[in-house]
Amino acid sequence: MGVGNKLSQISRRDLFKLAGQYGMSSTLLAAGAFGGAMSIGSLARAAESTYERRFSKPAKFNLKFGAAGFNARNLLIERAGALEFARDLEARTDGEIRIEFIGDNQICGQLSCVEKTQLGVVDIYAASTQNSAGGAPYLNVLDYAYMFPSRAAQYHFLYSPESQRILRDPLEERHGLKFLFSHAELRGMQMGLGWKDKPITKLEDLFGSKNRVTGTQLGRIAMQALNLNPVPVAWEETLDGLRQGLIDGAETWASAVAYANMSPVVSKSVDLKFFCGTEHTSMSAKVFNSLDGYLQDAVLESSYWAQTHVQAANEAALVNTVGFSNPQLPGTIFVENDVEPIFLPDSEIKMAEEMCSPEFQPQLWEQWRERLNGWAGGIDTYQEIYNIAREIPLDMKAENVEPRRWWKG
């Protein structure tokens, strides 16, 4: 049972009362570790025990973790691993590192977490790489259209030792950020209530629609080529845009619709899978480098543990919690909100790829490709990631990708 389900039996007022007594971090960490059914009394006892353990001795490092829009009820809808990472790191270091977990946009939002980390306001953050690309443009390297054929290919790249050279090292050198781990989905189109009675059976049905796009510059290239009319809208404003009909849809991934409470204003979730949806966690490189060597090792091991957890847990959550499957399971968020998953035929996905990807339309990507290649020391970023993403079978399930400690080569 996920934290979201466990906490559904506890009122928001009671939850915040406990958080006021024991701290939100201790309360959330206690809830995440809970094994069975939860009541306010059992959560209070667990929160008290967690608090006493965490503060039994002085911490050597107190790190602030800004988790954008996440809160107690949605952290386990999309399994992005933030709580698991924090809990494991505190346990692994026997409290020498203590994490103050700050969600609900209280300290940083999807667009500002990068800058807040670079300025030292927070030490660790969780946000999508696409929204973070405004402050760390090298993250655009993940967003070439149809570079990843599957979620399995995304995880395979994140585990690959080559990700150190292609993604992690350039990000650290250019933007002062240490990429720790990420959830992996592929973006599609989430169409508003005005599309409820409009059939979507082919790519052409979406042509001419007006759709929200994130901070990713490369995503806009793909959407323009697909005649999807990208409109920059902040993540926090997307819900109102869909509700008021200011936009037809939004490009994001399925579990983001569920955790951001977009489901009531979305009628169809179209699996275009045209570029990355990656809710990642990064750390200030300056803070990481200030840690003792054995604590740096602990951060990397906890990142690896969180990555393996996310790999399995988010795949299960997509089916069992979100309802992004065919057939859908009863009681899932999409079923309860009448959101229809649309899985287009392979021929339509191939058409989309031929319309917008660097493989078939290289001229669209020349400027950004040259820029990213230069930031990475002259390598061909697209081709290298494209090749790594195809080292595994196209039909491999994401949960079957072999985990590897990427920093060990």
Q: Residue 78 has what pLDDT?
A: 62
Q: How far apart are CA 44 and CA 27, in angstroms?
A: 8
Helical H segments across 186-265, by residue range: 217-225, 235-243, 254-259
Q: How far apart are CA 74 and CA 376, in angstroms?
A: 35
Q: Residue 3 has what pLDDT?
A: 44
Architecture field, domain 58-409:
3-Layer(aba) Sandwich (3.40)
Distance of CA 225 to the CA centre of its chain: 25
User: What CA dihedral angle connects 333, 339, 344 and 349, to 10 degrees?
Assistant: -70
| Bridge partners for 125 per DSSP | 66, 282
| pLDDT < 70 regions, the chain | 1-9, 32-37, 71-78
pLDDT 10s digits, 364-388: 999 999 999 999 999 999 999 999 9
- Residue 87 belongs to what H/E stretch? helix 82-92
22 contact partners, CB below 8 Å, separation of at least 6? 30, 47, 48, 50, 51
Q: How many CB atoms lie within 10 A of CB 337?
A: 17
Q: Residue 75 has what pLDDT?
A: 59
Sign of CA dihedral 408, 386, 174, 377: positive
Q: Residue 2 has what pLDDT?
A: 43
**Domains of the chain by residue range:** 1-56, 58-409
- Residue 295 belongs to what H/E stretch? helix 293-317
Q: Are 171 and 138 in contact (CB under 8 A)?
A: yes
pLDDT 10s digits, 263-305: 999 999 999 999 999 999 999 999 999 999 999 999 999 999 9
**Could you tell me the CA-to-CA distances from 260 to 68, 109, 114, 380 in Å, in that order?**
11, 13, 20, 35
